């Protein structure tokens, strides 16, 4: 057998006391898709950054085609054909897609030859079967389009090893399928793909090999054909993760939230919600199923008071509240897990403690007579960190240091530290690892059993079926079905979400 395209031997990377990569060995064959899976903090990103020349290992050997190399930065890596699509895209939003494509790629040349760039762009778009508006600023592109632009940027620089760091965590299921098609095509062209994820079905859908990491180490590397999701799941977590029982006890009380013929419009006046009516009662989780862009965001915003409804009535505990602002609604006992975790959900620049008390700081016991008690804030934060298993930062550190999964634990903890009357949860487990996902679902379940009314917006059919008492389907701004969960199967729900008749 010839030498692997990438060979790592005993790679070590430490961050202070943390060993992010602990004597990692990895062989990646040329021309295929190799998945790397592991929980948050397992060291996947660090390892990929080493491969892409962004981080220098403290020890170990790095070989390309059997020859040892030492990369001097990402520019050196891209010269050797190695490029990475980061979790946070590295695009300049204000520049056009075309300008982003060529940015920094021709340092020696002064003239920016738009025509040549456009020709290259068109060829790349054809190759990926991914058309986009090259003159539009990147800010106007969808997340999926941005990701495809990142891929084309790497191909423009002639990369033949492409590293994807959790590319599907920002995509809708439909867009993820599109990405998998692109990945397969690139691999068929002989390119080598490294694919990080923590969703096991994705591994088994596209990859030929899978490497499992846990706590900085490689636990196993296998051919996908020789293993199964259960085994890989066990290797990831280090134990059998028995799914907890989340079935509702069925003690449903009085309605808490009621929507009566609520409509909403988008920025250009186009309808986004059309006469939506349903109720959520005490001790009940009502799931909102639908493919992204069918009005979920608007629904959440009108319920939270972030958007004025264009018509209809919103009742909280029987009282109209369509005119009330976010704070008033929160004072009535509404809690909110936003899908926009680091925009609406948390402030990355503020400390973990400030984020932890952001919805409670005006009330006793944290504040008395308008004065904040720092000691109580710290204790409340430490308590929350312990109860909700937030790892990776002390109360005084900025929230930015937390990984996505841990930041979400912080947000969930803040919103559920008291049992709310109503919880609005939008995609609460998106981009969260296996253990975190199980934990968050458990918390939602617990809040329901304690009497909270929960509105759960999700695209994950499994999540909806596992947690909900009732599911409403949102399609093109309309409620097209409102069913008790016992009468729904995964197939039927999928069909309803796609707009096919029930």
Partner 1 sequence: MPDALQAVLAAAAPASASILLAAMGGAVNRQGGIVNVGLEAKMLVGAFVAVICGAATSSSALGALAAAAAGALVGSAFSLVVTRLGANEIVAGLGLNLAAVGLFGYLLPVVFGVSATLSPPGLVGLPLLRIPLLDAVPFLGPVLSGHDPLTYVSWMVVPLTWLLLYRTTWGVSLRATGADEEAARAAGIRTLLLRDLSTAWAGALAGLAGAQLSLGLVQLFNKQMTGGRGFIALAAFYFGDARPGLTALAALVFGVFEAASFRLQGGELAPQLVQMLPYLAVVASLLVVGARRRRLRRRRELTPEPGR
Ligand X SMILES: Nc1ncnc2c1ncn2[C@@H]1O[C@H](COP(=O)(O)OP(=O)(O)O)[C@@H](O)[C@H]1O
Q: Which residues bind partner 1 (CB under 8 A)?
A: 74-75, 78, 90-95, 99-100, 102-107, 109-112, 114, 140-145, 170, 172, 266-268, 292, 297-298, 339-340, 343
Q: Is 500 exposed, middle or buried (0-12, 13-18, 19+ CB in 10 A)?
A: exposed
Residue for token pair 């699509």:
85
Closest CB to ligand X among residues 274, 435 = 435
User: What is the nearest approach in angstroms of partner 1 to the Cβ of residue 176?
Assistant: 12
Closest CB to ligand X among residues 359, 403 = 403
Closest CB to ligand X among residues 118, 217 = 217
Cα separation, 22 vs 12, whole angstroms: 5
Q: What radius of gyration do the chain's Cα atoms show?
A: 24
45 binds Mg ion (CB under 5 A): yes
User: What is the nearest approach in angstroms of partner 1 to the Cβ of residue 155?
Assistant: 15
Cα separation, 471 vs 501, whole angstroms: 16
Closest CB to partner 1 among residues 32, 137 = 137
235 binds Mg ion (CB under 5 A): no
The entry of ligand X, Mg ion, partner 1, none that residue 38 binds, CB within 5 to 8 Å by partner kind: ligand X
DSSP 315-345: EETTEE-TT--HHHHHHTTEEEE-S-IIIII
The entry of partner 1, ligand X, Mg ion, none that residue 188 binds, CB within 5 to 8 Å by partner kind: none
User: What is the nearest approach in angstroms of ligand X to the Cβ of residue 87?
Assistant: 8
> Peptide bond before 433: cis, by omega within 30 degrees of 0?
no
Where is 162: in which H helix or E strand?
Answer: strand 161-164
The entry of ligand X, Mg ion, partner 1, none that residue 483 binds, CB within 5 to 8 Å by partner kind: none
46 binds Mg ion (CB under 5 A): no
Closest CB to Mg ion among residues 45, 381 = 45
Where is 131: in which H helix or E strand?
Answer: none
The entry of ligand X, partner 1, Mg ion, none that residue 40 binds, CB within 5 to 8 Å by partner kind: ligand X
Show the tokens assigned to 448: 């329901």
User: What is the nearest approach in angstroms of ligand X to the Cβ of residue 363?
Assistant: 33
Cα separation, 353 vs 176, whole angstroms: 35
Closest CB to ligand X among residues 44, 448 = 44
Closest CB to Mg ion among residues 44, 148 = 44
Closest CB to partner 1 among residues 142, 263 = 142
The entry of Mg ion, partner 1, ligand X, none that residue 42 binds, CB within 5 to 8 Å by partner kind: ligand X
**C-alpha dihedral sign at 224, 225, 226, 228:** positive
Cα separation, 118 vs 133, whole angstroms: 11
Contacts with ligand X by CB under 6 A lie at 15, 18, 20, 38, 40-46, 392, 403
The entry of Mg ion, ligand X, partner 1, none that residue 260 binds, CB within 5 to 8 Å by partner kind: none
Task: Provide the 10 A C-beta neighbour count for residue 153.
Answer: 24
List the one residue out of 55, 442, 471 whose CA is nearest residue 286. Answer: 471
Show the tokens assigned to 411: 């947000």
Show the tokens assigned to 262: 């609520």
Binding site for Mg ion (CB under 5 A): 45
């Amino acid at each position: 057998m010839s030498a692997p395209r990438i060979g790592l031997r005993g790679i070590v990377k430490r961050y202070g006391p943390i060993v992010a990569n602990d004597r990692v060995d990895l062989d990646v064959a040329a021309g295929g898709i190799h998945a790397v899976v592991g929980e948050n903090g397992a060291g996947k990103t660090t390892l990929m950054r080493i491969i892409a020349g962004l981080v220098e290992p403290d020890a170990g050997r790095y070989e390309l085609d059997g020859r040892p190399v030492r990369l001097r930065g990402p520019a050196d890596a891209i010269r050797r054909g190695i490029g990475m699509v980061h979790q946070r895209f590295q695009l300049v939003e204000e520049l056009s897609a075309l300008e982003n494509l060529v940015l920094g790629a021709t340092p020696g040349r002064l003239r920016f030859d738009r025509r040549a760039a456009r020709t290259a762009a068109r060829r790349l778009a054809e190759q990926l079967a991914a058309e986009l508006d090259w003159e539009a600023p990147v800010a106007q592109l969808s997340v999926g389009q941005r990701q495809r632009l990142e891929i084309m940027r790497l191909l423009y620089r002639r990369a033949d090893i492409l590293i994807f760091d959790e590319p599907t965590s920002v995509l809708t299921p439909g867009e993820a399928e599109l990405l998998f098609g692109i990945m397969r095509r690139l691999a068929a062209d002989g390119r080598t793909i490294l694919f990080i994820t923590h969703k096991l079905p994705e591994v088994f859908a596209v990859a030929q090999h899978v490497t499992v990491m846990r706590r900085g180490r490689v636990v196993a590397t296998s051919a996908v054909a020789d293993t199964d999701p259960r085994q890989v799941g066990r290797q990831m977590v280090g134990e059998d993760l028995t799914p907890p029982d989340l079935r509702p006890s069925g003690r449903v009380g009085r309605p808490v939230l009621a929507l009566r013929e609520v409509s909403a419009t988008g920025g250009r006046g186009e309808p986004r919600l059309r006469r939506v009516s349903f109720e959520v009662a005490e001790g009940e989780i009502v799931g909102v199923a639908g493919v992204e862009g069918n009005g979920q965001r608007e629904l959440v915003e009108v319920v939270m008071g972030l958007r004025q409804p264009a018509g209809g009535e919103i009742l909280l505990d029987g009282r109209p509240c369509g005119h009330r602002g976010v704070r008033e609604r929160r004072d009535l006992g509404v809690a909110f897990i936003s899908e926009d975790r680091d925009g609406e959900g948390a402030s990355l620049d503020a400390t973990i403690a400030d984020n932890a008390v952001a919805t409670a700081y005006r009330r006793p016991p944290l504040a008395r007579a308008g004065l904040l008690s720092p000691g109580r804030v710290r204790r409340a934060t430490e308590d929350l960190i312990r109860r909700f298993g937030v790892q990776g930062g002390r109360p005084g550190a900025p929230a930015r240091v937390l990984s996505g999964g841990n930041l979400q634990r912080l947000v969930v903890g803040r919103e559920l530290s008291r049992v709310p009357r109503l919880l609005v949860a939008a995609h609460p487990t998106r981009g969260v690892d296996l253990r975190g996902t199980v934990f968050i679902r458990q918390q939602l379940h617990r809040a329901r059993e304690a009497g909270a009314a929960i509105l759960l917006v999700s695209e994950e059919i499994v999540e909806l079926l596992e947690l909900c008492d009732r599911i409403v389907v949102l399609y093109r701004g309309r409620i097209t079905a409102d069913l008790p969960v016992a009468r729904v199967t995964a197939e039927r729900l999928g069909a309803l979400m796609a707009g096919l008749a029930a």
